[in-house]
Each structure stands twice: as structure tokens, then as C-alpha cells.
Amino acid sequence: MANFDQELDASGLNCPLPILRAKKSLAGMEAGQVLHIIATDPGSVKDFEAFAKQTGNELMESKEEGGKFVFLIKKN
Amino acid sequence: MSNKKLAIIATKGTLDWGYPPFILASTAAALGYDVEIFFTFYGLQLLKRKMKVAVSPLGNPGMPMPMGMDKWFPVIGTAIPGMQSIMTMMMKNKMKSKGVASLDELRDLCLEAEVKMIACQMTVDLFDMNPADFIDGVTFGGAATFFEFAGEADITLYI
């Protein structure tokens, strides 16, 4: 389990809420800090990839864990 | 480098068609876009403080209905009084159970992300709408106001 600075549980939320909540969480964090996100929306896998690519934040990890989708995003 | 820009024209005032402008605007804002939405004709319903929007199965053969109603129900059944409010209620419940945000919630997220909202002055006058019924932060303007922003937009959508 990688280390992270903040956690966001977006379970049960559907598009585009996981992305919007993540953006909000990242806004309150400092560069280099890592956000741990848990989601259940299968669309969020592609969406967090696209989000990271377009915002310049690094998607360090994206995996499925016990039916949930888990992401680690490092703020740029 | 200046931000990318998204310009949207929102023309529809139903529960289902209210989603695309607000979903795309809020997401684009989260991705760092500057966003402006121009609300015209029925789209102005989406700017009312108390959003009274519904969804109708009438004239919408693509709308899935519960319990296979769309299969055995005669088309005229969709015109039965009360059908629209029943379908609207069912749609809202379904959205809630699937974790889909409400239109009010998405609109708030847009405002929070500083999405600029323009109400078409001509439509407001045409339908004798009261500017006081609209949410705070709305600017009233015309086609030229839209082009001032859209002329420099990277993406322009008509919804």
C-alpha cells in the first residue's frame, strides 16, 4: 500500500462527480502530495486517466480492488 | 499559457436535456477550461432559482420505461394526464439510486467553478420572464455577447 496524504471516497457516485470531487480535494493540497481515491463508477478508470493527462497531475496508480476502483494521484 | 475555452448554447429545458450542459461545463472547469454557457429559449428554465423541469415519454420512443411499459403501452398512453410527473419522479429516483448528481447540485458545482452563465435577454423579454426568478450571478445578454467568448473558444457545443 503506497503512502498518501489525503483520501477521497467517491463510492456510489457517478460521472462526473468522482472527477469533480477529486479536483476539489486536489485544490486544497500542496504540490507533491498524493490523493487516494476510491470509486465504484467503472467509467472513472478512463476518466481519471484523461483527467491526469489534461491537468498535469500524475496518475501513480490505478487498480481494481474488491470490486472498487482505487487511484493514486500526485498533485503537480 | 491561457486556459482552453468551452462555449455551450443550452436550448432545452427538460430534466434529461439539462444534464449535458451542466455535466460538460463542470467537468471542463475541473480540467482547467474557462467555460461559458448561453441559455436561450427553453434552456432558460435551467437558470430558475426553483428549477421546475420534467421529463416526458411523449414523443420520445427512445426513452426506456419501467416494467417494459414502452413495449406494451400504446403510444397514446404516454399522453395520459399525470404520466409526465410519474415518469419525472421515477427518473429522479433512479438517478438518485445510481449516484447521479441532481441538476441543482451540478449547477452549484458549475457556479462554484466560476462557469459563466448568460441568459438570453430576447427570450426573457419574449416570454415575459422575471429576472428576479433567476439565480444570482447570471448575466443578461444577446448573440453578440455569446460570440465575444465563443469567437475565441476551442470547443463550441449547441445542446
Domain boundaries, position A41: 6-74
Q: Is residue A68 part of a domain?
A: yes
State ipTM: 0.84
* Domain membership flag for residue A43: yes
Query: In chain A, how many domains are there?
Result: 1
| SS3 track for A20-38 | HHHHHHHHCCCCCCEEEEE
pTM of the model: 0.89
Structural domains in chain B, CATH included, are 5-56+103-158 (3.40.1260.10), 66-96 (no CATH)
Is the CB of B23 less than 8 angstroms away from the CB of A15?
yes
CATH number at residue A69: 3.30.110.40
Residues from chain A that touch B101, judged by Cβ atoms under 8 A, are 13-14, 16-17
Examine the pLDDT at B4 and tell me if it is beyond 60.
yes
Task: Please indicate whether, in this complex, the C-beta atoms of A20 and B99 are within 8 angstroms of each other.
Answer: no
| Nearest chain A Cα distance for residue B126, angstroms | 34
- Tell which of A23, A26, A59, A69 to mutate to test the B interface (max B CBs under 10 Å): A23
Chain A nearest CA to B4, separation (Å): 11
What is the SS3 assignment for A44? helix
Read off the pLDDT of residues B65-116 as tens digits, 9 standing for 90 and up.
Answer: 777 666 666 677 777 888 889 889 999 999 999 999 999 999 999 999 999 9
> Looking at this protein, which amino acid is placed at residue A62?
S
Q: Which three cell numbers stand for residue B63?
A: 426513452
The closest CB to that of A14, out of B26, B30, B98, belongs to B98
Q: Is A1 inside a domain boundary? A: no
